Structure 1
Amino acid sequence: MPAAVPIENGLQSSVIVSSSISIALVTVTVALRLLAKQKVRGWDAGDCCLIGALLANTALHTLVILLVVYGAFGFHITEIYTRFSPENAIFFFKGIMAFPILWTVVTCFSKISVLFMYTSVFVQESMARWARYIGAFLVTWNVATIIAGLTLCRPFARNWNRTIPGSCGSPSKLYTSIMVINMTIDVILLGLPLPYLFSLQMPLRRKIVASGMMTIGIGTWVITIYRQTLLSGLDFEDMTYTGVLATILSGLEPAVAIALACIPQMRPLCARKKQVSYGYGSSDNHERIDADSVVRLWSIDGVQSKRSKSDGVAADQEP
């Protein structure tokens, strides 16, 4: 471990503050979501995936803080070599190589958590089938992303020592492709439950509210798009200085996404009971659900379209 560097400029402080906030934000929101779920019906596989995202997010931002303390993140690369030591620069480039791997794990767990949530809410076979297809693609794509990141430079040690003979691919092209595919998956995930939701027999206002809750993750696109605009001006040879803002935004993106996914599901912590009925298709086939289910409907977690044993029941029809 190289010697720690002094914390003396605004870039260093901004990285430490943003990462600390990201850790605290995700920890608090996930804890409150799990508490709310425990109050209603207990945890499920989606919650376990979210715990995995929480752990990966904590590791991601702990790494970023260590890059500041031991990797001199926030200083120009030339200043690191002249003022500190080559070991600090090596520590940074080794750590920044691990950053996209942890980022990929966070986003993968969080998206799979959403798929589990959808299948618990809408139990039609078509939803389960789509969730399996998308989940398989997510895992495959994320594994491929990790492999691409690890093989960007050949030989491997060239990632942190550019004096070694060899070659490296374009990090900018890799990150751009990751962003495009990630946003495409987000669009699919946000649109997937809407046909099932609007086939419910329930007031239009409540459908709109529930749709808004399901698509709240669009808020992270602002961060994603702005971060992408920074890549064109990024000097990857001086990543220790020019990459500060892009790294902050990259870390905030999954943290905000997880928090936005958790916040609507905290409603059971302060909800009052109320008996209503919603269903699919004909009003004669409504499914009775209690207050907790109504709360979970608004929070995208709990109105389950249980299959009727009778043939032709609209609740079993796929949108």
Structure 2
Amino acid sequence: MIKFSTSFPFITRMSEPLPQLSPAYVTEYKGGQLIGLSAAFIPILIIFVALRFWARIQSKAPLGLDDVFVACALVLQIGLSAFSISDVNEKTGFVKYGGVGRHFLALQQTEPERIVTYFKFLRAGSTTYFFLVAFPKLAILALYLRLFTIQPYQRIIYGTAAVVALTAIVCPIVSMNMCRPFEHNWNKNMAGHCLDEVAFDRWGSFPNIVTDIVIMVVPMPIVWRLQASTRMKIGLTILFLTGSLGLATSIVRFISFFRGDVIRDGTWSSVDLMIWTVVEPAVYLIAACLPTYRPLLIILSRKMGWKLTSAGTDNFQSFVETSKPRKFDATGFTGLEASFNDDIGLVGVDISKGGRGTYNQSDSDYTINTAVSV
């Protein structure tokens, strides 16, 4: 029987008698949930990303930094899903050979060698998680940089991107140095020590929640300052909120680490934790793709006979409104127009006095005419 150090309180020590376990408890298994979900997400994400790049090609838009981040995120996400469901050999397969989905005490009595494999996988998964969530979030922020040219908002976006990048750099370094020597991560017989791994897993993901909130809030002031119909503003708000879809999954994953069975029954509770570890970055990746699908809506509208660019027709209509005279910063909204025309479909932002004519810097009041496709 393998011995384990007391730094892991959920593991029965060698000197203690092993508890009597019922046959049902020993054979109980729920790893199939993780396998099924991981397998389902691979084709779904490939389709979403493929549609994104196809839409970019159709719009003849040059590839940007956000496209690079999306491609990297897809590769990592496929790797994570394959890692979760792999059943090739003893070096791969978190469920098959790591014992995930089985009760820890049952493994300790029947297949203790799987516990060593479990701890190896646990360290690898904890380390790569930060890269998995960083790339799609950086893709969303890179898109925001193209959309919002107003200086204060750009500073906020750059600051948020810096937090995301630093989290993706610092946390993996801490994770790889969690135990000294490194082999002590899985070989608890040897002398060594580890930091509080549960606390690290809990709070290491907390910056994701903070940056999610920023991603959700940043576009709102600009959208609601547009002099356009309330319906148009709501449509744009919903569109930008897709960028923060991962907030809910990030919170659920964070809360999951405070459940008692994470400590007492790690291999069993890892199914739920791994499910959210797969879902969270996958949702970020989908959110990074959605705002680029306007060319798809155009093609779909043509096939279905919808009018995408006429006001007051259907759910895919453009909302065009000439506002009452009001002062606005022309530079910020002009920059917004060029970027929206690429991804989100802001057809134009015209600034003129009295609704028609040429904008003059000396005019004291101007009108913003907007045409937006949602």
Q: Same fold (TM over 0.5)?
A: yes
The question of whether the paired residues in 1 share the 8 Å contact of 2:49 and 2:70 is answered with yes
Structure of greater relative contact order (alpha carbons < 8 Å, 6+ residues apart): 1
1:24 maps to which of 27, 30, 43: 43
**Which residue in the other structure is 2:256 paired with?**
230
- Give aligned-pair identity as a percent: 22
Are 1:173 and 2:199 an aligned pair?
A: yes
Q: Which amino acid aligns with 1:194?
A: M
User: For structure 1, which segment, 101-110 or 193-202, has the greater mean C-alpha deviation from structure 2 after superposition?
Assistant: 193-202
CA distance in 1, matches of 2:184, 2:198: 17
CA distance in 2, matches of 1:279, 1:119: 27
Q: Which amino acid aligns with 1:296?
A: D
The question of whether the paired residues in 1 share the 8 Å contact of 2:55 and 2:296 is answered with yes
- Structure 1 pair 278–134 and aligned structure 2 pair: CA distance change class (3 A): farther
**Which residue in the other structure is 2:80 paired with?**
60
2:67 maps to which of 30, 33, 47: 47
Q: Number of paired residues?
A: 302
The question of whether the paired residues in 1 share the 8 Å contact of 2:148 and 2:335 is answered with no
CA distance in 2, matches of 1:105, 1:289: 30
Per-residue CA deviations over 1:100-120 (Å, capped at 9, x if unaligned) read 222211211111111110111
Give the C-alpha shift of residue 215 in structure 1: 1.4
CA distance in 2, matches of 1:54, 1:279: 42
Are 1:260 and 2:287 an aligned pair?
A: yes
Give the C-alpha shift of residue 49 in structure 1: 0.6
**Which residue in the other structure is 1:162 paired with?**
188
CA distance in 2, matches of 1:144, 1:204: 43
CA distance in 1, matches of 2:160, 2:132: 17
CA distance in 2, matches of 1:208, 1:295: 20
**Which residue in the other structure is 1:296 paired with?**
343
The question of whether the paired residues in 2 share the 8 Å contact of 1:25 and 1:255 is answered with no
**Which residue in the other structure is 1:4 paired with?**
none
CA distance in 2, matches of 1:123, 1:279: 23
Are 1:247 and 2:274 an aligned pair?
A: yes
* Structure 2 portions without partners, runs of 5+: 1-26, 86-92, 302-307, 311-317, 352-358, 368-374
Per-residue CA deviations over 1:235-271 (Å, capped at 9, x if unaligned) read 4464222321111122111112322332343232132
Q: How does 1:74-223 map to 2 (within 5 A)?
A: 74-84=101-111, 86=113, 88-223=114-249
* Structure 1 portions without partners, runs of 5+: 1-7
1:274 maps to which of 284, 291, 309: 309
Give the C-alpha shift of residue 219 in structure 1: 4.1
- Structure 1 pair 62–287 and aligned structure 2 pair: CA distance change class (3 A): same
